[in-house]
Structure 1
Amino acid sequence: MQQQSSPAHWDIFCVVVDNYGDIGVTWRLAKQLAHEYQLTINLWVDDLRSFGHILPQLTPELAEQTHEGVRILKWNDPLDIDYIPGSVLIEAFACELPAQVKQALTAAARPPVWLNLEYLSAEDWVEGCHGLPSFQPGGINKYFYLPGFTEKTGGLICEQDLLATRDAWQANPQNRARLFADLGLTGIEPDHRIISAFSYETTALSALCELWSKAAQPMHLLLPKGRSLNSLTQWLPESPDKLTPGSHIQLGALTLHILPMTDQQGYDRLLWSCDFNIVRGEDSFVRAQWAARPFIWHIYQQEDDYHLVKLEAFMRLYCDNLAPEVALCWQQLNLAFNCQQQIDVQRLWLQIDTMRSELEAHAKHWPVDALKTADLATRLVQFVKK
């Protein structure tokens, strides 16, 4: 086995779930820690092939490679590279660390700061649990690090220059035109409505497509190949797996555009360029907020509908400074979409469309409120120092 890097480094372990969710969060965090804090970051990933969908330069067969200042290591069992503890160890989303890593921790003269980076939630309990230690075998504490929307939580991932970069991008319409041309999208005029969808399978999306096909103005729905497209088989001329990026399907006033997979920067720009975004999971959910555009959050379904509790907790925060009638309609729209209530989702879309200017103004101001005093990476570095 090769020897791993010096003990000054940070290790982040990630199990790829749902192809892009967990790795999307950890990859953004790893890049930000390396770029903005000049930290040596080792990112251990169990599925490099799926990771490659959002990092096209990645070579899945390599056990070790470096991209954007982050050392990416293939997480095999057993590991291909000797593990030497660094100064910080992050297990992303309660993934189970390899046995040899746990053994190295108990044998270390000076164990690293061990953190469990949890999923994002707006629920009240997050403030009370963030930063709590959990005693582990070998006499080591593992700390729960919980991202969140208040100052008493771990914060939200947002690069220091992101909002300024977004503003500059949105200020120049030519940026959007060039992006769409690069993606092979045709027939989109400045006065057309543009919506992106990165959702799980749901009949609610199909119901919205039926509504948009009868709209008074041209509508464009931008879809990557995958789970959103699987919701629209009744509208497609062939099976979703046979459609190629760049192809489009005309449904009355609505045009469906099939997108190629893109890296994270490209996805950010896509969100910035649309009038409305439908997103899923955690990474795209947060990026939709930074895009300063109205959105629907298709949250990952959980047993006993607990995902709706998490959705409602977020919506209460998001709607705090929104006019009551707009807040109620937007909340009901999100619930109808997540509960696959097809008639309600059509009715509520028509209703929220009459409140577009209020919702857009709120979406523009929300990132300032959500960030509070610091982003997740900044709070994480401060937490480790303490």
Structure 2
Amino acid sequence: MSDLKTRWDIFCTVVDNYGDIGVTWRLARQLVAEHSLTVRLWVDDLRAFERMCPEINIHVAQQWQEGVEVCHWPSEWTQAQAADVVIAAFACQLPPAYMDAMAERQQPPLWMNLDYLSAEDWVVGCHGLPSVKYKSVQKFFFFPGFQPGTGGLLRERGLLERRRQFQQDAAAQRQFLDSLGIVRAPGAQLISLFAYENTGLASWLDVLAADDEPTHLLVPEGRILGDVAHWLGVDSLAVGDLNVRQALTVQVLPFVRQDQYDHLLWCCDFNAVRGEDSFVRAQWAGRPMLWHIYQQDEDIHLDKLDAFLALYTKGLSPAAAEAMNGLWRAWSAGQPIGDHWLNARKHWPELQKNAEVWCLEQGLQADLAAALVRFYLNWI
């Protein structure tokens, strides 16, 4: 779509550390790289952005990274020309001055609210519908999703083939793990842990430590480190720390770039992830996983969790589905998951196959960036 000469503005308010900027940064780069669009990414917190893009200069209000114009979204907005397509990520509120600029255009822009990811049934019915209107500018709902009739998931061109090749290349995996200082013990299962604080963690670590099979647990910097430190009986943990308790080795990793995190997920036998961005990337890894969903008021996040589980476990036997449901629900409720983990391990080959099949099925749908571009083409 190199002849699509349009300018796109993406607005991102960093709410939960890295999830919001993680999604919008992936999307912005893909729109530039695969659709040859001119993209401006407005971010209100460049420090959070810097963690996943170290080249960012947090003191510069306008800069270019990987073909994307990155702009600091100031608290006091200065006038900027409105783009042809405007994406408000995760229902963030656009600056009033920018909304006026949209309305002043001779041809109003396409204005979309890129919403949070959900597997709930109502998403299909609401995707693409008009929302509020500001003067002459109509806003539309745009929902990522897992089912036909939604906007799909972020997935770069050729991602699944690159993943397949990497997972079949033992030397490439060893080289990557070596680059992070990870020395995997022979026969040890490799697990990544990226999660919010969770009181259910200790029971899982107890079981892993007491297991007959060794486990190497890789914990990137993040909010779960405090709970890991408490279980280990240490005051704090830092990057590079390595602790061994019986059959369990715990290693703290630095917060890595997005492409490195993909490779980490691809290397692991099991991935515990959180939020939205790492949740989607773990699905593309094709390995069994555990999702720590972001907690919302009145526990409405549990409806989203159950909706996803209903789809994800559809191809499993009743016993394996029950095991996965128990594990995921207990984890998101902060309950002990040790027994649930042991139950899930009884169905490991089936869970491995299901993860790969799910990944390939989702890969048959249009990716989110392509779906956004198609929506614009249909709109004009």
TM norm structure 1? 0.94
Whether the 8 Å contact between 1:149 and 1:371 is mirrored in structure 2 is: no
1:62 to 60, 63, 66: 60
Whether the 8 Å contact between 2:118 and 2:144 is mirrored in structure 1 is: yes
In structure 2, the gaps of 5 or more residues are: none
In the alignment, structure 1 residue 334 sits paired with structure 2 residue 328: yes
Q: How do 1:223-234 residues align onto structure 2 when only pairs under 5 Å count?
A: 223-234=219-230
In the alignment, structure 1 residue 364 sits paired with structure 2 residue 356: yes
1:189 to 185, 188, 197: 185
Residue 289 of structure 1 is matched in structure 2 by: 283
Distance 2:267 2:326 in 1: 25
Residue 375 of structure 1 is matched in structure 2 by: 367
Distance 1:203 1:175 in 2: 36
Residue 46 of structure 2 is matched in structure 1 by: 48
Residue 242 of structure 2 is matched in structure 1 by: 248
In structure 1, the gaps of 5 or more residues are: 1-6
Note the C-alpha offset of 1:60: 0.8
In the alignment, structure 1 residue 302 sits paired with structure 2 residue 296: yes
Whether the 8 Å contact between 1:133 and 1:144 is mirrored in structure 2 is: yes
Distance 1:201 1:383 in 2: 38
Residue 99 of structure 2 is matched in structure 1 by: 102
**AA partner of residue 219 (structure 2):** L
In the alignment, structure 1 residue 264 sits paired with structure 2 residue 261: no
Tell me the secondary structure at the aligned position of residue 325 of structure 1.
Answer: helix
Deviations 1:4-30 (A, max 9, x none): xxx931000000121111111111111
Deviations 1:40-73 (A, max 9, x none): 1100000000111111111111111111111101
Note the C-alpha offset of 1:145: 0.3
Note the C-alpha offset of 1:190: 4.3
Tell me the secondary structure at the aligned position of residue 52 of structure 2.
Answer: coil
Whether the 8 Å contact between 2:80 and 2:101 is mirrored in structure 1 is: yes
Distance 2:328 2:61 in 1: 42
Note the C-alpha offset of 1:238: 3.5
Residue 214 of structure 1 is matched in structure 2 by: 210
In the alignment, structure 1 residue 85 sits paired with structure 2 residue 65: no
Residue 139 of structure 1 is matched in structure 2 by: 136
In the alignment, structure 1 residue 354 sits paired with structure 2 residue 346: yes
**AA partner of residue 173 (structure 2):** R
Whether the 8 Å contact between 1:10 and 1:87 is mirrored in structure 2 is: yes
1:203 to 199, 203, 214: 199
Tell me the secondary structure at the aligned position of residue 52 of structure 1.
Answer: helix
Whether the 8 Å contact between 2:99 and 2:134 is mirrored in structure 1 is: no
Deviations 1:114-155 (A, max 9, x none): 000000000000011111112423121100101111111111
In the alignment, structure 1 residue 154 sits paired with structure 2 residue 183: no
Distance 2:349 2:9 in 1: 44
**AA partner of residue 158 (structure 1):** R
Distance 1:205 1:341 in 2: 8
Distance 2:29 2:100 in 1: 28
Whether the 8 Å contact between 2:211 and 2:247 is mirrored in structure 1 is: yes
Residue 239 of structure 1 is matched in structure 2 by: 235
Q: 1:62 to 1:332 in 2, by over 3 A?
A: same
Distance 1:323 1:372 in 2: 23
Residue 168 of structure 2 is matched in structure 1 by: 171
Distance 1:239 1:224 in 2: 17
Distance 2:295 2:365 in 1: 31
Deviations 1:166-196 (A, max 9, x none): 001100112221122111223x134211110
Tell me the secondary structure at the aligned position of residue 231 of structure 1.
Answer: helix
Identity in percent: 45
Whether the 8 Å contact between 2:275 and 2:294 is mirrored in structure 1 is: yes
Q: How many residues align?
A: 374
Distance 1:160 1:225 in 2: 29
- Of the structure 1 ranges 316-325 and 273-282, higher mean CA displacement relative to structure 2 is found in 316-325
Note the C-alpha offset of 1:237: 5.1
Whether the 8 Å contact between 1:85 and 1:111 is mirrored in structure 2 is: no
Aligned CA-pair RMSD:
1.3
Tell me the secondary structure at the aligned position of residue 77 of structure 1.
Answer: coil
Deviations 1:307-344 (A, max 9, x none): 111000000011111222111111111011111221xx
Whether the 8 Å contact between 2:152 and 2:368 is mirrored in structure 1 is: yes
1:18 to 16, 20, 27: 16
Distance 1:182 1:63 in 2: 33
Distance 2:264 2:158 in 1: 18
Whether the 8 Å contact between 1:155 and 1:371 is mirrored in structure 2 is: no
